[in-house]
Amino acid sequence: MKYVIWISVVVLLILHQDFWWWDDGTLLLGIVPIGLASHLAISLAAAVLWCLATIYCWPHSAEKTESSNLSTTEGGQG
């Protein structure tokens, strides 16, 4: 599933370059041009995709930090 999510992110980035509607002025519902509607859909798809990513691609190694004790190492050198 992890790979499906990351492949979907790449697909979304490709869809973001929607050259096929570049010169198309068709209006959806008489209000929104199709070139804008497609990008609104991309924004919604991004939210859905990132929601799935927090489920299937979550970096669990970061959680270990919370349960482990704080290191005494000082930030930075010296």
Stretch 7-46: interaction string toward another protein, x if CB under 8 A: --x--xx--xxxx--xxxx-x-xxxxx-xx--xx-xxx-x
For residue 9, give Cα distances in angstroms to 19, 38, 50, 73. Answer: 18, 16, 9, 37
Residue 67 backbone phi and psi in degrees, to 5: -85, -15
Chain residues in the site for another protein (CB under 8 A): 9, 12-13, 16-19, 22-25, 27, 29-33, 35-36, 39-40, 42-44, 46-47, 50-51, 53-54, 57-59, 61-63, 65-66, 68, 70-71, 73-78
